[in-house]
Amino acid sequence: MKHVTIKDVAKKLNCSVSTISRAFNDKYDIRKETRDLILATAKEMEYSPNPIAKSLLKQCSNQIGVVVPEFINPFFPEVIIGIQEVFFKKGYQVLIMQSNESFDNEMENVKAMENNMVDGLILSLSFETQNVEYYENLIKQGFPIVLFNRVSNKLNTHKVVFDDYKWAFFATEHLIYQGYKNIIHFTTSHSLSFSQNRIKGFINAHKKHKLKIDEGSIIEAGLLISDGEREMEKLIALHKLPDAIFCVNDMCAIGAMKMLKKYGLKIPGDVALVGFTETKLAELVDPALTSVAQPTTEIGRTAALLLLEQIESKGLFVPQTVTLNGRLNVRESSVKAK
Amino acid sequence: MKHVTIKDVAKKLNCSVSTISRAFNDKYDIRKETRDLILATAKEMEYSPNPIAKSLLKQCSNQIGVVVPEFINPFFPEVIIGIQEVFFKKGYQVLIMQSNESFDNEMENVKAMENNMVDGLILSLSFETQNVEYYENLIKQGFPIVLFNRVSNKLNTHKVVFDDYKWAFFATEHLIYQGYKNIIHFTTSHSLSFSQNRIKGFINAHKKHKLKIDEGSIIEAGLLISDGEREMEKLIALHKLPDAIFCVNDMCAIGAMKMLKKYGLKIPGDVALVGFTETKLAELVDPALTSVAQPTTEIGRTAALLLLEQIESKGLFVPQTVTLNGRLNVRESSVKAK
DNA sequence: AACGTTTCCGAAAACGTTTCCGAAAAAATA
DNA sequence: TATTTTTTCGGAAACGTTTTCGGAAACGTT
């Protein structure tokens, strides 16, 4: 339990603590032999410098904080793997917390991180977060923050995002190319920026191909399986079946799928489906779901690299928004039978 | 960026730092009015005590560390939610790291946590971990550690486990009750304690019902979808189809399911399937998969409470192994048609 | 008025580092 | 040899807290 400290090593070697410190920090003003001797005996004594003391003195911790809204879905864990990969190599530790989609929790987490003197923060905003004043202040004070996925355009800092517009456009166009005419979109709360962008992509793909959309074509469903089920069931009850549905995410699409199956409707024969933000589920459900894959781990790596750059540049940096590419994985659920 | 410290508050109020400290730590030897005044102005100045300095002095950090093998599968994230729930309330912070199923990473992580003066550790051993000497020492020195899920019986400390034997027995018995006679088991590496226990359950259920097992009945597949696919395809090629398969986990079962479908075989008509360690996937695949659910979040909560107890008891505790209950969720994949 | 108690607060040490400053010893230069 | 420069190291301050110790003031008791 008792840790061996720098003083113990100094006493053992009959020298001052500053010399030990010099040996460990590879300073120029120490003789090679002294350094080697110190390092050897320190190793033998199982001494390692106490990072807490170092943090206190240096006013930074070699830790970076990550706050995500949840990690039940595989998306955020995969991003975190990318983040850790980068920081692990650089000798940073990664502190992870989840806000559980609550603004209050998010603030608590961020403040805890701050108190812990993390050197920077990687953040994905919760569902509830509207008020970003606190982050604005942090950024203004020069605190390094990188946002990803759930960002706010009020915040002027590095961001890693996905081109939701473009890929929603492609996904919709894919359905159009397959020959579907009557396509609808299950979206989620309009307050989320990504849902606005996906809607825009959906609409513009229609415009490009001179297909018209009526007001019933965009339905606010939600992100959960139950949301997809509910809205699908409504449509079935109303006998207003579309040819195809572009869903805001895989969960929603899978909900729709379950309901279609329940009523004996064929996919894609009666209704074709496309998801978004692909998860493992996409290729496991039957029929396999066409979906847009995001480069999750890559997102993490990119965010980490941007944060590192920001930390090392000591305030002098130009906020940058990196948009990563995705991929439309076409599977059975959307391919029209000949 | 510049943090306001206890000294700033003291200067502002023309009193000593010790008085400020007393106010914040609710000491008895301070006048109520002084305390209130201090707390008020501190709040106004946005002062909050620096936890790093506190850690250095107190030789503990109010942080606890969690090291898990992975968090791609939803299992560990769900456990972590339970852990965080408990510690958040107690004012602890939870540091999470993942070993990526590597022994070396695991050691690195644990040492980083230790250096960071975490007050305790919740640990699930990696696949590779055989040598637990380091942990033995830590425990011997009185360092609080709770193991869960992937435990080692060489380590004498609190553990939270699942009764793999019992639930493997029940799962197998369920298949027997359904009338399947020729049942096989897809298992994984025998080095993992849980796989041994599940095998034992599988065998004993057969013994109880006086069904015999031949040596080909237990097949070392693995934990991944690809493992299930591979072994299933082998069986199909050899025309050695069983009535039913009890799989070591859902992923493996889903792999088998995919292969069966590919060859046009009916589930459960031709081959029935049962999984284990239920994930969301179980009810989403078609047909829905019968599986044994573990109380993931409950596991986390329990581990957290045990660790808290151990931390607070300052060394005086009796290592305890808590076995949590599960639940067999019967779904289409195993129910024999009449 | 003299004494003992209690209440409240300040000074200083401690936690384990790093770094600045200065000094001694060694080496280089005159 | 005398002086300057370089090399190598020790002392001490600093980071922001908590806590022990002691002391001053206020109060109560004879």
User: Are A212 and A318 part of one and the same domain?
Assistant: no
What does the pLDDT look like over A23-36, one tens digit per residue?
999 888 899 989 99
Give the residue among B142, B139, B153 at the shortest CA–CA distance from B313: B142
Say how far apart CA A305 and CA A86 lie, in whole Å: 7
Say how far apart CA B336 and CA B133 lie, in whole Å: 49
Backbone angles phi, psi at A165, to 5 degrees: -60, -55
Asked if residues B66 and B122 have their Cβ atoms less than 8 Å apart, the reply is yes
In this complex, do B77 and A80 lie within 8 Å of one another by their Cβ atoms? Answer: no
Q: What's the DSSP call for residue A334?
A: G
In this complex, do A53 and B48 lie within 8 Å of one another by their Cβ atoms? Answer: no
User: Are A80 and A103 part of one and the same domain?
Assistant: yes
Say how far apart CA A126 and CA A192 lie, in whole Å: 10
User: Which has the minimum average pLDDT: A75-84, A223-232, B69-78, B317-326?
Assistant: B69-78
In this complex, do B71 and A77 lie within 8 Å of one another by their Cβ atoms? Answer: yes
For residue A115, give the nearest of B48, B81, B112 by CB distance. B48
User: Which chain B residues have a beta carbon less than 8 Å from that of A57?
Assistant: none
In this complex, do B116 and A52 lie within 8 Å of one another by their Cβ atoms? Answer: yes
Provide mean pLDDT across the span B288-316. 92
Say how far apart CA B314 and CA B181 lie, in whole Å: 54
Q: Which residue has the higher pLDDT, A329 or B91?
A: A329
Q: Is the pLDDT of residue B1 over 60?
A: no
Instruction: Give residues 294-323 of chain B lying near strand D (Cβ < 7 A).
Output: none
Of the pLDDT bands very low, low, confident and very high (cuts 50, 70, 90), residue B153 is: confident
SS3 (DSSP) at B26: coil
Q: How far is the CA of B102 from the C1' of D15 (A)?
A: 37
In this complex, do A48 and B115 lie within 8 Å of one another by their Cβ atoms? Answer: yes
Provide mean pLDDT across the span B222-243. 93
Asked if residues A260 and A267 have their Cβ atoms less than 8 Å apart, the reply is yes
In this prediction, residue B215 carries a pLDDT of 85
Say how far apart CA B113 and CA B93 lie, in whole Å: 12
In this prediction, residue B338 carries a pLDDT of 63
User: Which chain B residues have a beta carbon less than 8 Å from that of A285?
Assistant: 284-286
Residue A55, domain member (yes or no): no
Provide mean pLDDT across the span A188-217. 91
In this structure, what CATH number is given to the domain that contains residue B106? 3.40.50.2300
Say how far apart CA B72 and CA B78 lie, in whole Å: 11
What does the pLDDT look like over A234-254, one tens digit per residue?
999 999 999 999 999 998 999
Q: What is the mean pLDDT of chain A?
A: 91
What does the pLDDT look like over A102-158, one tens digit per residue?
898 899 889 888 877 889 999 999 888 889 999 999 998 889 999 999 898 899 999
User: Which chain A residues have a beta carbon less than 8 Å from that of B98?
Assistant: 81, 84
Provide mean pLDDT across the span A85-104. 85
User: Are A194 and A227 part of one and the same domain?
Assistant: yes
User: Are B80 and B35 part of one and the same domain?
Assistant: no
Provide mean pLDDT across the span A5-33. 92
Q: Which residue of B has its CA nearest to A288?
A: B285
In this complex, do B116 and A143 lie within 8 Å of one another by their Cβ atoms? Answer: no
In this prediction, residue A338 carries a pLDDT of 63
Residue A261, domain member (yes or no): yes
User: Which chain B residues have a beta carbon less than 8 Å from that of A4?
Assistant: none
In this complex, do A52 and B51 lie within 8 Å of one another by their Cβ atoms? Answer: no
Residue A54, domain member (yes or no): no
In this complex, do A52 and B48 lie within 8 Å of one another by their Cβ atoms? Answer: no
Nucleotide nearest to B38 (CA to C1'): C9
What does the pLDDT look like over A157-179, one tens digit per residue?
999 999 999 999 999 999 999 99
User: Are A85 and A139 part of one and the same domain?
Assistant: yes
Q: Is the pLDDT of residue A1 over 60?
A: no
Q: Is B6 (CB) below 7 Å from strand D?
A: yes
In this prediction, residue A281 carries a pLDDT of 82
- Provide the domain count of chain B: 3
CA distance A78 to chain B (A): 7
**The pair of three-digit structure tokens given for residue A210, joined into one six-digit string:** 């001179």
User: Are B184 and B277 part of one and the same domain?
Assistant: yes
CA distance A116 to chain B (A): 6
User: Are A138 and A233 part of one and the same domain?
Assistant: no
Residue B1, domain member (yes or no): no
In this complex, do B61 and A80 lie within 8 Å of one another by their Cβ atoms? Answer: no
Which residue of A54, A115, A119, A283 to mutate against B (max B Cβ within 10 Å)? A115
Q: Is B11 (CB) below 7 Å from strand D?
A: no
The continuous run of DSSP H or E covering B64 comes out as strand B63-68
Q: How far is the CA of B35 from the C1' of C12 (A)?
A: 22
| In the block, residue with structure tokens 């949590």 | B324
Please list, in sequence order, all residues whose beta carbon lies within 8 angstroms of the beta carbon of residue A202, skipping any fewer than 6 positions away.
A168, A169, A172, A185, A218, A246
In this complex, do B98 and A112 lie within 8 Å of one another by their Cβ atoms? Answer: no
Percent of chain A surpassing pLDDT 90: 65
Instruction: Give, as ranges, the nucleotides of chain D with any atom within 7 Å of a protein CB.
Output: 7-12, 14-20, 22
User: Are A175 and A154 part of one and the same domain?
Assistant: no
Nucleotide nearest to A35 (CA to C1'): D8
User: Are B169 and B264 part of one and the same domain?
Assistant: yes
In this prediction, residue B139 carries a pLDDT of 92
Provide mean pLDDT across the span B178-194. 90
Residue A122, domain member (yes or no): yes
**The pair of three-digit structure tokens given for residue A337, joined into one six-digit string:** 């039978």
Asked if residues B238 and B267 have their Cβ atoms less than 8 Å apart, the reply is no
Q: Is the pLDDT of residue B82 over 60?
A: yes
Q: How far is the CA of A21 from the C1' of C30 (A)?
A: 37
Say how far apart CA B38 and CA B49 lie, in whole Å: 13
Residue A195, domain member (yes or no): yes
Q: Which residue of B has its CA nearest to A251?
A: B284
Provide mean pLDDT across the span A332-338. 85
Q: Which residue of B has its CA nearest to A109?
A: B93
Residue A319, domain member (yes or no): yes
| DSSP string for B203-215 | HHHHHHTT----G
Query: What is the distance, to the nearest Å, from the Cα of residue B201 to the centroid of all Cα atoms in its chain?
Result: 21
Q: Which residue has the higher pLDDT, A41 or A281?
A: A41
User: Are A274 and A305 part of one and the same domain?
Assistant: no
Q: How far is the CA of A59 from the C1' of C27 (A)?
A: 39
Backbone angles phi, psi at B179, to 5 degrees: 100, 5
In this prediction, residue A130 carries a pLDDT of 84
Of the pLDDT bands very low, low, confident and very high (cuts 50, 70, 90), residue A94 is: confident
In this structure, what CATH number is given to the domain that contains residue B26? 1.10.260.40
In this prediction, residue B95 carries a pLDDT of 84
Q: Are strands B291-293 and B327-329 parallel, antiparallel or unpaired?
A: antiparallel
User: Are B214 and B186 part of one and the same domain?
Assistant: yes
Residue B278, domain member (yes or no): yes
What does the pLDDT look like over B256-291, one tens digit per residue?
999 999 999 999 999 999 999 988 788 888 889 999
For residue B52, give the nearest of A1, A56, A81 by CB distance. A56
User: Are B157 and B181 part of one and the same domain?
Assistant: no
Backbone angles phi, psi at A78, to 5 degrees: -65, -40
Q: What is the mean pLDDT of chain B?
A: 91
Nucleotide nearest to B10 (CA to C1'): C10
What are the residues of chain B with a beta carbon less than 8 Å away from any beta carbon of chain A?
A: 1, 48, 50-53, 55-56, 61, 71-72, 74, 77-78, 80-81, 84, 93-98, 100, 112, 115-117, 141-143, 225, 254, 258, 261, 280-281, 284-286
**Domain limits for position B16:** 6-49
Query: What is the distance, to the nearest Å, from the Cα of residue B108 to the centroid of all Cα atoms in its chain?
Result: 19
In this prediction, residue B93 carries a pLDDT of 81
